[in-house]
């Protein structure tokens, strides 16, 4: 069967409600199933805004965001949620058990699926270390787990839903470089048929992406693979050296 999850932005411009200037201008790109698209750029460049347009946290001012050729503005919320899993830059956990948090997007997931997702997200050891396991309680806002653990549980939650598209907004930044690398390797095996879009701060996180978009001030200023950008993009070189 044909793989699903092709994401296309066509000349997208976006302004926050009430703002004068657009924070995104003329954004066009395609992300294909089985591939990883990365987005990098300085703080305030518009990365989070860009990835929030696919799950329709906001709608575009002009242009189109399409999922498998259909504008997301024509899809209902439940279809988008079942097909697109977003791990937000500031992941949230609910007060309740780890199990409750993981099953959020797929209530009928089996325990095996939950453990499998935890293993990929490098969070299995953390859950196993207490005898309460999946029944361990998370405080409201996830305040009784560390930032890195919150990120990994949030990644596991996204994996449980088995979507067509994964959006990771700076999801690996709280992890040490070795855990980041292990997690992304495990992730690769589990997301082979899906479209993966990764927003990152660290070049090491995205160096192996199929395509990298360099975002600056709401515009895509350069695009290519890591090796291509090292040759052609002063903005990318600056990020590499920072």
Could you list the residues that contact ligand DCP (CB under 6 A)?
16, 19, 23, 41, 43-49, 89
Q: Which is nearer to Mg ion, 97 or 235 (CB)?
A: 235
Asked whether position 49 contacts Mg ion by CB under 5 A, the answer is no
Q: For residue 36, which of 180, 207, 154, 163 has the smallest C-alpha distance?
A: 207
CB burial of residue 42 (10 Å; 0-12, 13-18, 19+): middle
Applying CB under 5 A, among 25, 36, 48, 85 the residue interacting with Mg ion is: 48
If we measure between CA atoms, which residue out of 111, 98, 196 comes closest to residue 150? 98
Residue 5 touches which of ligand DCP, Mg ion, none (Cβ within 5-8 Å per kind): none
Q: Give the number of other Cβ atoms within 10 Å of residue 202's Cβ.
A: 15
Q: Per rule CB under 5 A, is residue 151 in the interface with Mg ion?
A: no
Among 82-90, 92-100, 124-132, 155-163, the segment contacting Mg ion (CB under 5 A)? 82-90
Q: In this complex, which beta carbon is closest to ligand DCP, that of residue 50 or of residue 117?
A: 50
Q: What CA–CA distances, in Å, run from 67 to 30, 82, 86? A: 10, 12, 14
What angle (nearest 5°) sits at the alpha carbon of residue 215, between those of residues 211 and 217? Answer: 170
Binding partner selected for residue 92 from Mg ion, ligand DCP, none, CB under the kind-specific 5 to 8 Å limit: none
> Contacts with Mg ion: how many residues (CB under 5 A)?
3
H/E segment holding residue 226: helix 226-232
User: 30 or 89: whose CB is closer to Mg ion?
Assistant: 89
Give the nearest distance from C-beta 44 to ligand DCP in angstroms.
4
Q: How far is the CB of 234 from ligand DCP (least distance, A)?
A: 19
Continuous H helices in 84-207: 98-102, 111-120, 124-128, 147-160, 177-190, 203-206
Q: Which spans of this chain sit near Mg ion (rule: CB under 5 A)? A: 47-48, 89
């Amino acid at each position: 069967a044909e793989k699903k999850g092709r994401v296309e932005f066509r000349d997208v411009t976006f302004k926050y409600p009430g703002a004068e200037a657009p924070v995104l201008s003329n954004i066009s790109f395609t992300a294909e199933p089985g591939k990883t698209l990365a987005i990098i750029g300085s703080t305030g460049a518009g990365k989070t805004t860009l990835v929030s347009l696919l799950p329709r946290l906001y709608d575009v001012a002009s242009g189109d965001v399409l999922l498998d050729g259909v504008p997301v503005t024509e899809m209902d919320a439940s279809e988008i949620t079942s097909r697109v899993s977003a791990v937000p830059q500031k992941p949230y956990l609910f007060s309740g058990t780890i199990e409750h948090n993981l099953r959020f997007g797929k209530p009928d997931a089996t325990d095996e699926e939950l453990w499998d997702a935890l293993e990929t997200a490098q969070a299995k050891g953390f859950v196993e270390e207490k005898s309460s396991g999946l029944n361990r309680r998370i405080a409201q806002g996830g305040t009784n787990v560390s930032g890195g653990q919150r990120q990994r549980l949030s990644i596991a939650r996204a994996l449980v839903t088995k979507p067509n598209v994964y959006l990771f907004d700076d999801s690996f930044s709280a992890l040490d470089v070795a855990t980041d690398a292990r997690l992304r390797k495990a992730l690769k095996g589990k997301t082979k048929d899906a479209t993966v879009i990764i927003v990152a701060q660290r070049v090491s996180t995205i160096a192996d992406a199929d395509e990298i978009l360099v975002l600056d001030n709401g515009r895509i200023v350069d695009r290519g693979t890591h090796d291509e950008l090292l040759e052609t993009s002063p903005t990318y070189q600056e990020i590499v050296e920072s």
